[in-house]
Amino acid sequence: MPGTNPVILVRRRRRIAALLCGLLLTLAPAAAYADAVIGTGTPESCQTAQAATALSNAVAAGGVISFNCGPNPVTILSNTNATDKTVVVNGGGLVTLNGEDLRQLFFVFGTGNLTLNNISLFDGNASQGGAIYIDTQAQATINGGFITSSGANDGGGIYNKGALTINYATLGSNIASGNGGGIYNNGGIVNITDSYLVSNQAQNGGGVYTLNGQLTLLRSTVRGSVIGNFGGGVYTAGPTTIINATFSNNRAARGGGLYTAATTTVVNATFNENRADLGGAIYHQAATTSVKNTILTGSLNTAGNSVSLNCDGSTLTTQGRNIVGDNSCVPNPSAVGDLLATDAQLGVWIGSPLRGYIPAEGSPALDYAQDCPATDQRGYPRPLGAGCDVGAIERGQLLYLPFTQR
C-alpha cells in the first residue's frame, strides 16, 4: 500500500484483531457445569471420605451428578452438601445418604436449584431442616426416594423458605422438637403430589407446618403423625389446597388430621380414624375452610376410647356432597346435599401402593360426588362408575375373571 504509514497499518491490524477476538468471545457458548460420577463401580469406592468430599465439591460446583457404586443398594456417609448452583443428583433408586444424626445433608442457598431423583436421605440433623434446608430465593425438587429418620428444632425432614416440589416420595419418621415433623414451610411455596407422609412427629404440624406460605397437597396420604398441640397431619396458616388426599390415624390435641388458620380448600379428601380432643378430622380456627365431596368420619379422642367430633372450631364452608359421621363440620340441615350423621361405609385401610380407603359396596359415597377432579388419588380416571365417588379414591366396577382349571 504505497504511501501508507507503517504505524497506522499496525494500529489497523490491532483493531481488526481486537474486533475478531471480541466477536469470538460473543459467539462462544457459556461454560457448562461439568457432570460428575461418584464411585468407580464398587460400593467401597462410594463409601470413602474422598468420595464424600467429591460429592460435596460436585454439588457446590453444579451440574448433573450420578453414582457408580455397583448394582446393589449402598449407603454413603455424607457431608453437608451446600450449593447456590443448579444441581441434579441421580440416585437410581440405589443410593442413601446418611447424615449419622450429626449433620444436614443438603443446604440450598442464594438462587440454588436442587433436584434429587430417586435418592434417599437418612438420619440428618440440624436446627432447621434435618435433611434439607431451602433458603428464600432457592428451590428444590424431590422426585422419588425417601427422607426418613431426620430431626431438627423445626422441619425434621425439610425446612423451606423458597420453593419446594415433591413428587412420588416418602417422608417418614422425621421428628421436630418444635414445628413441622416432615416439613416446615416458612413463607415459601410447597407442592406435594403422589407422595406419602407417615409417622412424623412435632409439637405442631406433624406432617407439614405452614406459616405464611402456600401449600398444595395432591393425590397424597398423611398418616400416623403424632403431635402434642395442633394439626396432627397438617397445620396451615397460609393458603392451602388439598385435593384427592387421605388423612388417617393422625393425632393432636386440636385438629387430628388438619388444623386450619388460613384460607383452605378441601376437595375429594378422606379423613378417617384421626384422633383429637377437639376436631378429630379438622379444627378450623380462622379465615375460610371449604370442603367438597369429602368424607369426615371415624374420629376418636386422643385416648382412642370414645368418639370425638369430626370437626370443631369455626363452622366450615360447605361446597356440597360431603359425608360426615356426626352432625359437626357443616351446617345442619345442609342445603347442598351433605349427608350428616351418616356412616360412609369405608373398607379397611389398604397399604402400599394404595394407602387409603375404598368405599365398600353399598356405601353412600358411591356415585354421589359432583364436579369432581378428573382423577382420584391413585391417578385413576373419574368416574369409574355411573358417577364420581365422594372421597379420595374411586371404587368403580370390580373386574371378575372366570376361573379356569389347568
Please determine, for residue 292, whether its predicted confidence score (pLDDT) is greater than 70: yes
pLDDT at res. 286: 86
Instruction: Please check whether residues 329 and 276 belong to one and the same domain.
Output: yes
Range in 22-26, 87-91, 222-226, 234-238 the model is least confident about: 22-26
Instruction: Please check whether residues 74 and 208 belong to one and the same domain.
Output: yes
Please determine, for residue 347, whether its predicted confidence score (pLDDT) is greater than 90: yes
Range in 49-63, 259-273, 306-320 the model is least confident about: 306-320
Percent of the chain with pLDDT over 70: 89
Give the model's confidence band at 307: pLDDT under 50 very low, under 70 low, under 90 confident, else very high.
confident
Q: End of a domain among 218, 247, 263?
A: 218
Q: End of a domain among 161, 196, 218?
A: 218
Please determine, for residue 28, whether its predicted confidence score (pLDDT) is greater than 80: no
Average pLDDT for residues 265-290, to the nearest whole number?
96
Give the model's confidence band at 15: pLDDT under 50 very low, under 70 low, under 90 confident, else very high.
very low
Instruction: Please check whether residues 202 and 97 belong to one and the same domain.
Output: yes
Closest CA to 171 of 220, 105, 204: 220
Residue 7 lies in a domain: no
Average pLDDT for residues 200-222, to the nearest whole number?
98
Give the model's confidence band at 405: pLDDT under 50 very low, under 70 low, under 90 confident, else very high.
very low
Instruction: Please check whether residues 253 and 359 belong to one and the same domain.
Output: yes
Instruction: Please check whether residues 231 and 275 belong to one and the same domain.
Output: yes
Give the model's confidence band at 397: pLDDT under 50 very low, under 70 low, under 90 confident, else very high.
low
Q: Answer for the pair 131, 121: CB distance below 8 angstroms, yes or no.
A: yes
Instruction: Please check whether residues 231 and 135 belong to one and the same domain.
Output: no
Residue 101 lies in a domain: yes
Q: End of a domain among 198, 218, 238?
A: 218
Instruction: Please check whether residues 82 and 132 belong to one and the same domain.
Output: yes
Please determine, for residue 371, whether its predicted confidence score (pLDDT) is greater than 70: yes
Closest CA to 272 of 310, 302, 301: 310
Range in 7-21, 167-181, 187-201, 211-225 the model is least confident about: 7-21
Residue 329 lies in a domain: yes
pLDDT at res. 160: 99
Residue 3 lies in a domain: no
Please determine, for residue 304, whether its predicted confidence score (pLDDT) is greater than 70: yes
Instruction: Please check whether residues 203 and 242 belong to one and the same domain.
Output: no
Give the integer Cα–Cα distance in Å for 177 and 127. Answer: 10
Domain of residue 347: give its range.
227-395
pLDDT at res. 33: 57
Backbone angles phi, psi at 87, to 5 degrees: -135, 135
Residue 92 lies in a domain: yes
Range in 106-110, 149-153, 398-402 the model is least confident about: 398-402
Instruction: Please check whether residues 71 and 155 belong to one and the same domain.
Output: yes
Residue 302 lies in a domain: yes
pLDDT at res. 396: 74
Backbone angles phi, psi at 123, to 5 degrees: 60, 40
Residue 5 lies in a domain: no
Residues 6+ apart with CB under 8 A from 260: 236, 240, 282, 283, 284, 285, 286, 287, 289
Give the model's confidence band at 359: pLDDT under 50 very low, under 70 low, under 90 confident, else very high.
very high
Give the integer Cα–Cα distance in Å for 166 and 169. Answer: 6
Q: Answer for the pair 390, 397: CB distance below 8 angstroms, yes or no.
A: no
Mapping DSSP onto H, E and C, the string for the chain reads: CCCCCHHHHHHHHHHHHHHHHHHHHHHCCCCCCCCEEECCCCHHHHCCHHHHHHHHHHHHHCEEEEECCCCCCEEEECCCEEECCEEEEECCCCEEEECCCCCCCEEECCCCEEEEECCEEECCEEEECCCEEECCCCEEEEECCEEECCEEEECCCEEECCEEEEECCEEECCEECCECCCEEEECCEEEEECCEEECCEECECCCEEEECCEEEEECCEEECCEECCECCCEEEECCEEEECCEEECCECCECCCEEECCCEEEECCEEECCECCECCCEEECCCCEEEECCEEECCECCCCCCECCCEEECCCEECCCCEECCCCCCCCCCCCCCECCCCCCECCCECCCCCECCECCCCCCCCCCCCCCCECCCCCECCCCCCCCCCCCCCCCCCCCCCCCC
pLDDT at res. 402: 39
- Average pLDDT of the residues of the chain: 91
Number of domains present in the structure of the chain: 2
Looking at per-residue confidence, does 26 or 157 come out higher? Answer: 157
Residue 259 lies in a domain: yes
Please determine, for residue 240, whether its predicted confidence score (pLDDT) is greater than 60: yes
